[in-house]
Amino acid sequence: MKDLVAKLVSTLDLERLEENLFRGTSPDVGWQRIFGGQVIAQALVAAQRTVAPDRQVHSLHGYFMRPGDPRVPVIYEAKRLRDGGSFSTRLVTAIQHGQAIFTLSASFQREEEGLDHQIAMPVVPGPDELPSGESLGQDILRHAPEPIRRYWMRPRAVEFRPVSTDHYLTREKLAPEQRIWVRVTADIGDDPALNAAVMAYLSDMTLLDTSLFAHGLSIFDERIQAASLDHAMWFHRPLRVSQWHLYAQDSPSSSGGRGLTRGSLFSADGTLVASVAQEGLIRPREPKA
């Protein structure tokens, strides 16, 4: 697992080509397109490397325009839109084959004191009370479709422990909400910029699936064409991705072939560290002849 985490960190360590210009590559995992969370995280890293170290990201907004090609590098062009007394704003465009595949706007802020409140973390079983990925695939999900078992048993740098797996075992329409414990499987240190980038990476996982629960479907269903369309994230408080966080998600709406999902990331002690919102394509496919 340490090797997988090291590979993830290496993937986010962009090559500087020129001032404000960076190059990122994709690991060879056999996917036909680049994982959206990787593009989000790499674009954030590109923005971070143009900002003073005392300013940390507090929000980002991204749009996916074309699927990324994992066979070729991605060029990230960062524009320094503004550096004010407290805030800095950056715009990053990810480019492949001469075309933009993703854009990210991000805002950074110097640390300061202010008013403080947060919502309460949902009451759920802790991660130590839930089965691990291997146990999920072999025991809990033994009657689930093969793609689902394969997904949960595959070694990865990020570990998930879902509070419920009902949506994988039934086609009944369920409440559009999901609770998942998540962490990186090895320590990556306490660099706030790297922890924010890795949290952005994993925030794209499982989110779109929640919008399908109300329809008795999952992201693995061949009847659905699914893809992330946009992604927004707000960083509220310091975080360490090597520690467990509860990813509480709900989908307030789906319409027009799109599903909207919101997410709250809480540290194990109940501190709200980040919030997420994403709209994705969930277009029904035409039945095969």
Can you point out the beta strands (E) in 65-170?
A: 74-83, 87-96, 99-110, 158-162
Identify whether 28 is a catalytic site residue: no
Instruction: Give residue 217's region: left, alpha or beta (phi > 0; psi -120 to 50).
Output: beta
The span from the CA of 142 to the CA of 213, in Å, is: 20
Active-site position among 204, 211, 221, 275: 204
SS3 call for 78: strand
Identify whether 56 is a catalytic site residue: no
Q: Name residues whose C-beta falls within 8 Å of residue 189's C-beta, 6 or more positions apart in sequence.
A: none
Identify whether 228 is a catalytic site residue: yes
- Residue pointed to by tokens 């340490």: 2
Bridge partner residues of 94 (DSSP): 76, 102
* φ and ψ of 234, to 5 deg: -125, 130
Active-site position among 26, 48, 228, 275: 228
Residues catalogued as catalytic: 204, 228, 278
